[in-house]
Amino acid sequence: MSKETVLKLLQESGGEYISGESISEKLGITRAAVWKAVRALRRSGCDIEARKSRGYRLVEMPNRLSETEIRAQLGATKLVGRKLVCFESVDSTNAYLKRVASQGVVDGTVAVADEQTGGRGRRGRNFQSPAGKGIYLSVLLRPPVEPNHLLPITGFVAVAMCNAVERVTGVRPQIKWANDLVLNRRKLCGILTELSMEGESGALQYVIIGIGLNVSHTREDFAGELENIATSLELETGEKVSRAALAAAMIEELDTLYQALLRHKMQPYLETYRRDCLTIGKQVQLLWEDVHEKVLATGVDADLGLEVLRQNGAKDVIRTGEVSVRGLYGYVE
């Protein structure tokens, strides 16, 4: 772990020089180990300047998603992220975790990819996951709860991802029901949750939550129907965003959410979801097979079902998976 801890110290120095002797003393490693760590960091793309009698200074980090870069930004977590697997390319992070779930992979395991070749969204739709552009992250959880207690989990993950984005960029997205993050009326992030249950007992085996967040995409990166729907953090803020720092914040927020779930302390997430959900109060269309029905979204219930008022005056609650919800004039409205 010396490579990760040396990088963390260099980052914490704020661009100032820190001597090899000081690094050695703080980390309890030899000067030779410090040099080996610096050399390894340089090979991984870190620009580290060395000056005699002054020490080392971090000039620039690559905007990559390696374990070294993420762990250098990651604070202490209780469960989520204890095991972290990073890929340059994988079919999908959800698919990977499903493959290893039966091998006893630990609760809170996180998989992160720079690129997905087979990313999926809801209802089996393709999720574009180009290399070097986004954060494609999944977490496997084994909560000791009944499956029906997880009905609102995807929406609460959306709240956690809003928290992570705000921490790193200072900008807070909104949520389009049920769980898409939206910034300036365009989709920023999608979330897909998959459950596995025992066939006979119906007991929960695990839940895998996959998150695809657009970070460095340009307009040219969004093809087809996404051209007028999707956006990225850099497009909206005009600022370069460290994917490693954002991935670390995402892991920390998922850990905080998981601890709240285990303690049955979800009310703050429900209140924040209701505050951030831009669908509430809008006229929307319910898209269900060949039926396109206009309704007024009036709120969300405790399980994040969308409360609607139909044109005939009837009240109803729409559950995720029953219908798709779109604005009357586009993705949001």
Architecture of domain 67-276 in this structure: 2-Layer Sandwich (3.30)
Of 78, 71, 20, which is closest to residue 263 (Cα–Cα)?
78
Q: Which residues contact 178 (CB under 8 A, 6 or more apart)?
A: 154, 155, 304, 306, 320, 325
Question: What Rg do the C-alpha atoms of the chain give, in angstroms?
Answer: 22
pTM: 0.81
Q: Tell me the three state secondary structure of residue 270.
A: helix
What per-residue confidence (pLDDT) applies to 196?
93
Helices and strands per DSSP (H, E), number in the chain:
9, 14
Q: Residue ranges of the alpha helices (H) in 13-134?
A: 20-27, 31-43, 67-73, 93-101
Task: Find all residues with CB under 8 Å of 230, minimum gap 6, and list them.
Answer: 186, 187, 188, 214, 217, 222
Q: Name the average pLDDT for the chain.
A: 89
Q: What is the number of other CB atoms lying within 10 angstroms of the CB of residue 61?
A: 22
In this predicted model, what pLDDT tens digit does every residue of 62-118 receive, in sequence order? Answer: 667 889 889 989 999 999 999 999 999 999 999 999 999 989 899 999 999 999 897
Does the pLDDT of residue 232 top 80, yes or no?
yes
Report which of 37, 30, 44 is spatially closest to residue 10, judged by C-alpha positions: 37
% pLDDT > 70, the chain: 92
- Mean pLDDT of the region 315-331: 74
Looking at per-residue confidence, does 322 or 268 come out higher?
268
CA trace torsion 23, 87, 141, 80 (10° rounding):
10
Region of poorest pLDDT, from 28-37, 56-65, 177-186, 257-266: 56-65
Give the pLDDT score at 329: 56
Region of 321 please: left (phi>0), alpha (psi -120 to 50) or beta: left
| Residue ranges per structural domain of the chain | 2-60, 67-276, 283-327
Whether the predicted pLDDT of 320 surpasses 80: no
Contact (Cβ atoms closer than 8 angstroms) between residue 246 and residue 171: no
Helix, coil or strand: residue 34? helix
DSSP 190-253: EEEEEEEE-TTT--EEEEEEEEEEE-S--GGG--GGGGGTB--HHHHH-S---HHHHHHHHHHH
**What's the pLDDT band for 176 if we cut at 50, 70, 90?**
very high
- What's the pLDDT score for residue 277? 96
**What would the CATH number be for the domain defined by 283-327?**
2.30.30.100
Provide the β-strand partners of residue 194: 208
Burial 107-142 (b: 16+ CB within 10 A, else e): bbbbbbbbbbeebbebeeeebbbbeebbbbbbbbbb
Which architecture, in CATH terms, is 2-60?
Answer: Orthogonal Bundle (1.10)
For residue 326, give the amino acid letter: R
3-state secondary structure of 121: coil
